[in-house]
Structure 1
Amino acid sequence: MAKSVGVLLSLGIALFPPVLAHDSHDRSAQGVMLQTLASGNQLESLGPGVTVQTLTRSDRSWNGALLPPLSATQPEVHVLRMTIPPGVTLKLHKHPVIHAGVLLQGRLRLETKDGATQLLEPGEAVIEVVNNAHRSVSLGPDPAVLIIVFVGPLGQAITLPASH
């Protein structure tokens, strides 16, 4: 984390304290604003023609649950591309770490064990539930293709069976 912060600072970017933000579900949330030190502008000021679009930003998962606090241990980041064929329902599982994804293609329904659902269309981002049994259903007609980023302690499993 310290190395990442050092890289951001060397680029003239600073992480400012939490500010009030709103996620895609219009819920108020605490977030971290990324700004440049020199101008106070957001990332667009890194170069001519650069645009940045926040896909999602929140301290809560899609079902409204507060995300767990980050630990002081060495973090590990996993960036995955997942393809789920049309009509396939993933087995119930859970993730013990914070993660978010963007659906690139297809249609995907997220379902928690208690019945909450969230529908994703291409281009939509989601902050997934943590330590909550859930599954995903690829609704077709195309495969669901996602990019998922997991952040957790070094060496920790990122996916577990729902019964674990």
Structure 2
Amino acid sequence: MYKALNIILVILFTCSLPVSAELLLETETSWDSGRINYPDGRPEITSLILRLEEGVITRFHCHPVPTLGYVLKGKIKVETIEGKTAVFSEGESVVEVMNTLHRGTAVAGPVEVVVFYAGARGMPNTVYPEDSSDACK
């Protein structure tokens, strides 16, 4: 009796739980049409949530590794040191520029971005020019 009930419950639950997948982004370039290059070395994936209050501007920095962001909340403006800009809103994915100095600004309220780095063990995911004379080259 219990065995039959368990089988019926399994069938009911598996039938009522549809699986879906929604493609968020598929690209071979960063948001500014730059190339994406994977680093040498032992692969290491890192993720974090970046939180900025409205009006906060990050320091100029660069990523020597492929970096993907997904905006959970708010709107973020990204600006390169050369003046190229792009704005990304809640629900959008973006591949960051590589080896290019840039900064982010939370616009129109606070922002939260899930960030994924496809790096290598021992390699920094983010580099600040004041910390390295050959940063972002």
TM-score (norm 2): 0.79
The 4+ residue runs of structure 1 with deviation greater than 4 A are: none
Contact preservation (8 Å) 2:52, 2:111: yes
The residue number in structure 1 matching 2:104 is: 136
Per the TM alignment, residue 70 of structure 1 is displaced from its structure 2 partner at its CA by 4.5
The residue number in structure 1 matching 2:75 is: 107
Secondary structure, counterpart of 2:122 in structure 1:
coil
Q: What is the CA–CA distance in structure 1 between the aligned matches of 2:50 and 2:39, rounded to whole Å?
A: 25
The residue number in structure 2 matching 1:157 is: 124
The residue number in structure 1 matching 2:20 is: 51
Aligned pairs for 1:2-21 (under 5 A) are: none
Q: What is the CA–CA distance in structure 1 between the aligned matches of 2:129 and 2:112, rounded to whole Å?
A: 22
Give me the CA root mean square deviation. Answer: 1.6
The residue number in structure 2 matching 1:68 is: 37
Per-residue displacement from partner, 1:59-109 (whole Å, max 9, x unpaired)? 1000001111453x2101111011011110111001111110100101100
Distance 1:156 1:70, change over 3 A: closer
Structure (1/2) with the larger helix percentage: 2
What is the count of residue pairs matched by the alignment?
A: 116
Structure 1 residue ranges without an equivalent (≥5): 1-47
Contact preservation (8 Å) 2:38, 2:66: no
TM-score (norm 1): 0.67
Per the TM alignment, residue 115 of structure 1 is displaced from its structure 2 partner at its CA by 1.1
Structure 2 residue ranges without an equivalent (≥5): 1-16
- Give % identity: 28
